[in-house]
Structure 1
Amino acid sequence: MSRRSRDKQSWEVRASTLARNTHNLIRGIVENLQVEPNPNKELIALSVGDPTTFGNLNPPEQVLQSVRESIQWHTSRGYAPVTGHLEARQAVAEYSAHQGPISPENVILCSGCSHALELAITVLADSGQNVLVPRPGFMIYKTVAEGLGIRIKFYDLLPHKQWEVDLEDLESQIDDDTAAIVVINPSNPCGSVYRKEHLCDIINIASRNHIPIIADEIYEHFVFSGHEFVAMSALSQDVPILTCGGLTKRFLVPGWRMGWLIVHDRHNILGKEIVKGLHNVASKILGPCTLIQRALPSILKNTPQSFFDEVVLFIENQAKLAYEELRRVPGLRPIMPQGAMYMMIEIKMSMFPKFENELKFVERMVSEQSVFCLPGKCFCYPNYMRIVLTVPEDILREACQRISLFCKENITSREKMREFESSEMAVQKDTKVICEDIPTIA
């Protein structure tokens, strides 16, 4: 018996520093809501970014058939190389040709896009360094970084400019310990799609300060009419870009956990150490699901463009519906998205003084109207809430009507109602410009 065993008087087992410091902000807020839905109204959850939740959006037969065929191959049952099977990586390289020249050696297959983001942050940043992340933004970065002692610093987006990056604020956040800049385009939670010129402005800041970019492009091509997705890697002349993507959203299969990280480094700035580091960290999970890997070439090559077009058109029309319904609601100001599958809505809290903050507003809306939206706190952005646009049309319409009723019943006074009506008249001209030319489904 060791001396340590003899001296111990009781059990002393505790979680590691990594475990104690790792928190999922969204899950933490959602799971700690102290409220029950109205028992007389079925709960409508506009909170979860899973397009499959309501069963109205499904992958096409070609995608399903690709997996059925993969089941028959013995090579889909065993381990793959830690970065993925060559054929699958080659398929991703060809599918992603819009990003620029890609070799399969620059592709690492991951267990979903979130795993790709984790790889990028873990390899580029060390304890004591910081990574710049947009606010509002998807908080998986905070979950990944803080447990490793990596600090997250926020740069602001501008709601009055369709959530463009505040370029001055972005550059002011850079210091000697900044390891990377995260850019989410198209955006979760904002639904913004950045112009080519704006992306070039961001890249120029990174170039001046010699900071690599992590491009979160899981919603690539998920853009509404009148807008265009441009990959950051296609624009960069010298800045290394680590692009993170996957099947999750565009192919409507988030549960299949198939993502990828693509290294774009035209001038070999990152060097062999970073590439080897990505391979080293990827080896922790021994590669993602081989069943989906073997199906990946067929999925990427055989899915018809018409499928993508129909899904995006449906969500665009959902965005138009929600915008038209909610812009008339006293105390709310929705911001029309340009892509992805979300809408951010400002809550004019001064018109709802009974609620301490937007979290209390959301909680009460669940208890009274059984509609659950994610509060801005989930994205480190107070006085806003996010709704998901992938729900069936009748459910979204019902949710908007309940939200409207909730606001009208809880607004502070008639005077505030008149104040809202006056402000709405002032923005009607801009509203017409935002919403025109959006096609509708016949």
Structure 2
Amino acid sequence: MARNGNDNCNVNGSVWGFKGNIATSDAAAVALRKLVFKMFKNCNLNSRKSILAPSPGDPSASLSFRTCTQAEEAVAAAARSGMANSYAPSPGILKARRAVADYLNGELPAKAKLRAEDVYITGGCNQAIEIVIDSIAGNPSANIMLPRPGYPHYDARAVYSRLEIRKYDLLPERDWEIDLDALEAAADENTVAMVLINPNNPCGNVYTYDHLNKVAEMARKLGIMVISDEAYNRVVFGDRPFIPMGMFASIAPVITLGSISKGWVVPGWRVIQAIEDCLDLTPQPSLILQEALPDILEKTPKEFFDQKIKAMRVSAELSYERLSDTPCLFCPKKPESCSYLWVKLDTSMLIDIKNDFDFCMKLVSEECVLLIPGVALGADNWVRISIGTDALVLEEIFDRLKRFYNRHAISKEVKNLSNSMGTL
């Protein structure tokens, strides 16, 4: 494989006329997957401890979060039907697109109803992100507003597409609402879109109707579209209801990304709905899953979601309570959605930890627990803990976190000495 770089490859004295794409290297450098693999390599395999790696946000291995039999049977029936052995059209097959439109229309007002042709099927949320980002990157001066913290694949694809990234902050003191004043100040005439993640990964909040309405009004004022990532819309376990951004499509243009991977706990199935009508560049997603999609959406019982939400609520309560055993980690707000605990790291309480990345790398090395450092999501000295797993696994994770903290915590004697020196 040719190395990335600006120089032609030189092997055994021969100069070849090809070279690597530097944009690929730049994008990979900020990709979450690259960081996770790097952290896996830092595990101490000689410790005889099992590797606890809940951080990719994949609860499907847990018995408490297994998908419903109706979804599994729909896929099996599609595979046996003989109707899913060919190539699919690029936008997705009509019956799958119609089923998605019908499913989503149940939550949308009459003026925002979808047609089948408004729905575009892709092979996973990341591919939908890539298609959308690429399609708006035509202007070399264009920029996009991304949340901080946020999902790093947006950053990676924007870097790859040479689309300038500008950040807006989420405010923990206001239930992680968007700082709309700062967003407006950061935007200019070259801003083409903003990304909204609701329910929010990693913060675990759900935005109110009033706040989303203000977001839409701001987007109209700035003349930009809203890319609304709603992958976790079926993973809401707090009191605040989920409101789709499509409710406000009459105010500003909205592209919605939705997925079965989180709601049905099947991240390996890789089907997503990107609601747009101007995209036509993608490899065909799985035809078997498209054939099964109408039955999955129609036949999944309400009890499945109720049981999953109950299990997620138990995990959130347990994790939030057990976090008190590790005083250097603080969660400003109990999550009400998604499957993460988003916690602030206080390095002043630790004797040899420089920052969140150092914390996570030493944790995985000493305790074989893999957490995501906040710097990977755009926030220094925060940590994302995935909690979508069984109670016994969560107890072990927090037991190991407690042991790690006790080893690295600054002793009372050192703390008192430091305080006394500070008053001299």
Q: Which amino acid aligns with 2:100?
A: V
Q: Secondary structure at the match of 1:242?
A: strand
Q: Tell me what 2:421 maps to.
A: none
Q: Which amino acid aligns with 1:69?
A: A
1:10 matches 2:8? no
What's the offset of the Cα at 1:183? 0.1
Give the letter aligned to residue 318 of structure 2: L
Aligned partner of 2:358 in structure 1 is: 360
**1:30 has 2:36 as partner:** yes
Aligned to 2:83, what secondary structure does the other structure show?
A: helix
Note closer, same or farther for the CA distance 1:304–1:416 as it changes in structure 2 (3 Å cut). farther
Aligned positions, number: 395
Rounded Cα–Cα distance in structure 1 between residues aligned with 2:61 and 2:262: 12
Q: Do residues 19 (structure 1) and 31 (structure 2) align? A: no
Q: Distance in 2 between matches of 1:220 and 1:228?
A: 10
In the aligned structure 2, how far is the partner of 1:350 from the partner of 1:92? 49
Q: Which moved more, 1:97-106 or 1:38-47?
A: 38-47
Alpha-carbon contact 2:152-2:377 (below 8 Å) kept: yes
C-alpha separation in 2, matches of 1:416 and 1:135: 35
- Secondary structure of 1:387's counterpart equals strand
The alpha-carbon distance between structure 1 residues 71 and 40, as it changes in their structure 2 partners (threshold 3 A), is closer
2:10 paired residue number: none
Q: What is the alpha-carbon distance in structure 2 between the residues aligned to residue 31 and residue 172 of structure 1?
A: 37
The 1:371–1:165 alpha-carbon spacing in structure 2 relative to 1, beyond 3 Å, is same
Check conservation: 1:351, 1:416, Cα contact below 8 A: no
Instruction: Report the equivalent of 2:178.
Output: 165
Question: Superposition pairs for residues 88-237 of structure 1, below 5 Å?
Answer: 88-97=96-105, 98-99=107-108, 100-126=112-138, 127-237=140-250
**Distance in 2 between residues matched to 1:326 and 1:256, nearest whole Å:** 33
Structure 1 window deviating more from structure 2 (349-358 vs 379-388): it is: 349-358
CA distance in 1 between counterparts of 2:414 and 2:242 reads: 40
- Residue equivalent to 1:267: none
- Any stretches of 5+ residues in structure 2 without a counterpart? 1-12, 417-424
Q: Once the 2 structures are TM-superposed, how far is the Cα of residue 22 of structure 1 from its aligned partner? A: 2.5
How well do the aligned residues superpose, as a CA RMSD in angstroms? 2.0
Q: How far off is 1:229 after superposition?
A: 0.1
Aligned residue runs from structure 1 range 73-88, under 5 A: 73-88=81-96
Deviation at 1:399, TM superposition (A): 0.8
How many angstroms does 1:417 deviate by? 8.4
TM normalised by structure 1 equals: 0.85
Distance 1:394 1:14 in 2: 50
2:169 is paired with a residue whose SS is strand
Pick the aligned partner of 1:306 from 303, 306, 318.
303
Distance 1:176 1:353, change over 3 A: farther
Q: Is the 8 A contact 1:218 1:245 kept in 2?
A: yes
SS in structure 1 at match of 2:121: strand
Mapping 1:269-288, distance limit 5 Å: 275-276=277-278, 278-279=279-280, 281-282=281-282, 285=283, 287-288=284-285
Residues 357 and 235 from structure 1, CA distance in 2 versus in 1: closer, same or farther, beyond 3 angstroms? same
Q: Structure 1 residues 363-372 or 210-219, which shifts more?
A: 363-372
Measured after TM superposition, the shift of residue 370 of structure 1 is 2.1
Structure 1 residue 84: deviation in Å? 0.9
**CA 1:243–1:66 in structure 2 vs 1: closer, same or farther (change >3 Å)?**
same
Could you give the per-residue CA deviations for residues 37-82 of structure 1, whole angstroms, max 9, x where no partner exists?
Answer: 3714222113111122445421111111111111122321111221
TM-score with structure 2 setting the length: 0.88
Unaligned runs of 5+ in 1: 1-7, 264-274, 419-442
Instruction: Verify the 8 A CA contact 1:84 1:288 in the aligned structure 2.
Output: yes
- Which residue number corresponds to residue 54 of structure 2? 46
Structure 1 SS opposite 2:170: strand
Partner Cα distance (1:228, 1:141) in 2: 26
Equivalent residue, structure 2, for 1:333 = 330
Q: 1:372 to 1:21 in 2, by over 3 A?
A: closer
Letter in 2 for 1:392: D
The CA distance in 1 between the partners of 2:52 and 2:160, in whole Å, is 33
Q: Distance in 2 between matches of 1:206 and 1:305?
A: 35
1:249 aligned counterpart, secondary structure: helix
Deviation at 1:94, TM superposition (A): 0.8
Distance 2:320 2:270 in 1: 32
Q: Deviations over 1:315-336 (max 9, x none)?
A: 1110110001103422110231
| 1:46–1:387 Cα contact (<8 Å) kept | yes
Matches within 5 A, 1:45-64: 45-54=53-62, 56-64=64-72
- In structure 2, the residue corresponding to 1:197 is in which secondary structure? helix
- The answer to whether the 8 Å contact 1:89/1:108 transfers is yes
Code of the residue aligned with 1:383 in structure 2: it is: N
How far, CA to CA, are the matches of 2:69 and 2:264 in structure 1? Answer: 11
CA–CA separation in structure 1 for the residues paired with 2:403 and 2:272: 41
Change in Cα spacing, 1:11 to 1:119, as seen in structure 2 (3 Å) is closer
State how far apart, in whole Å, the 1-side matches of 2:412 and 2:259 are.
Answer: 49
Q: Distance in 1 between matches of 2:304 and 2:226?
A: 31
CA distance in 1, matches of 2:402, 2:175: 23
Deviates more, 1:182-191 or 1:352-361: 352-361
* Larger mean Cα displacement after TM superposition, 312-321 or 325-334: 325-334
**One-letter code of the match for 1:394?**
L
CA distance in 2, matches of 1:193, 1:235: 16
Task: Kindly provide the amino acid, as one letter, of the partner of residue 87 in structure 2.
Answer: Y
Deviations 1:65-112 (A, max 9, x none): 111111122321111221111111110001111144010010111111
CA distance in structure 2 between the partners assigned to 1:417 and 1:228 by the alignment:
45
Q: Which moved more, 1:356-365 or 1:159-168?
A: 159-168
